[in-house]
Structure 1
């Protein structure tokens, strides 16, 4: 089976460079168009179910895609974005100014360090992997997951067994497609962040 993994469409907060985390932000007009284009691409991929984060930006992306795929949509709380705690609503530059000492420590130890009132990448990667493993074991046909940038990066770092800091070099764009194959109890990465549908 194949698991198609997609980051939600572009949001108003993406346009402002703000960390969204678990804040329930809306899609920007650009994000709505991205989701339509992606739906047209995915309608030929024999998707049988869509699993989505319940946050509006992901669920709306799923609904638009489903205008082309016509399959059950299942909300899964475990696909929700990493909780950035006190950093939510701030830009990265703001975070570096307001929380400079902690940010510097976090940047060097981000896998295990919990952001105040938030989560660590370790927590998110475990949550993401357990969820995708459960989904893979309970399906034998292609499925689509709609989630968020930090969660998807954390998931791929776990699958590839690479340091979370290296995920800075892993582009996960809005409505980019990544594909995993699940075979004999193992995940194999076929594609990361395919944007061919926008060309």
Structure 2
């Protein structure tokens, strides 16, 4: 059996302000560093053998703190870059909601049907994640792996691994430094 420990980065100032992060490199806030420290203490009991991370600053900082504390090698992957929200990146969520209420509502209810201006569709990010996971499953048939990725990419990975639809709350932050274990009985049988 293969276990994936899906780890969200600690909170950034953008998260605290309600801004859309996307692919922007924003470091952890002080609160985010504290959240990662708590996560590290919780993760000490998990036999993580390898740690993969998104290349964004908050995920990289989170992964580096975890890898340093748990004596793991941190492996960044461009395939784990966050969803590109284009011109919405850096904007307040409330600003998008106010300026484009119909698009915002559709983005919340049917995110797969909306492409932010100069951004990417969720399907594009999903294919990137599926390609990454396919390679990961060929390399690792069993054991425990850590993957550090921000939202909404973490939600895409979770829905793929659980073979479920993207939850209605797909764009809500699950809490900085939060993590969950997803067990995969036969990784080679997941179709990509």
- TM bucket normalised to smaller: 0.7 to 0.9
Structure 1 position 181, deviation (Å): 1.7
2: distance between equivalents of 1:56 and 1:100? 30
Aligned-partner Cα distance in 2 for 1:170–1:101: 19
Report what 1:126 is aligned to.
127
Aligned to 1:173: 175
Query: Do the aligned residues in 1 keep the contact of 2:151 with 2:171 (CA within 8 Å)?
Result: no
Question: TM-score when scaled to structure 2?
Answer: 0.86
Q: Gapped runs of 5+ residues in structure 2? A: none
What are the residue-to-residue correspondences of 1:15-94 with 2, within 5 Å?
Answer: 15-94=16-95
| CA positional deviation for 1:168 | 4.2
- On the 8 A contact 2:18/2:93 being kept in 1, the answer is yes
1:4 and 2:9 aligned = no
8 Å Cα contact 1:48-1:143 kept in structure 2: yes
Q: Structure 1 length as normaliser, TM-score?
A: 0.83
Looking at structure 2, the residues matched to 54 and 169 of structure 1 have their Cα atoms a distance apart, in angstroms, of 19
1:111 is aligned to 2:112: yes
Once the two structures are superposed, what CA deviation does each residue of 1:27-77 show, in whole Å capped at 9, x if it has no partner?
Answer: 001111111121122122111111001111001001111222111110011
Cα deviation digits, residues 96-150 of structure 1 (max 9, x gap): 2223343344445421332111111222222223322321321232111000110
The whole-number CA distance in structure 1 between the counterparts of 2:126 and 2:177 is 20
Matches of 1:152 and 1:96 in 2, distance apart?
A: 23
Whole-angstrom CA distance in 1 between matches of 2:10 and 2:172: 18
Q: Which is bigger in relative contact order (C-alpha 8 A, separation at least 6)?
A: 2
Q: Matched residue pairs, number?
A: 188
**CA–CA separation in structure 1 for the residues paired with 2:87 and 2:185:** 40
Q: Give 5+ residue unaligned stretches, structure 1.
A: 189-199
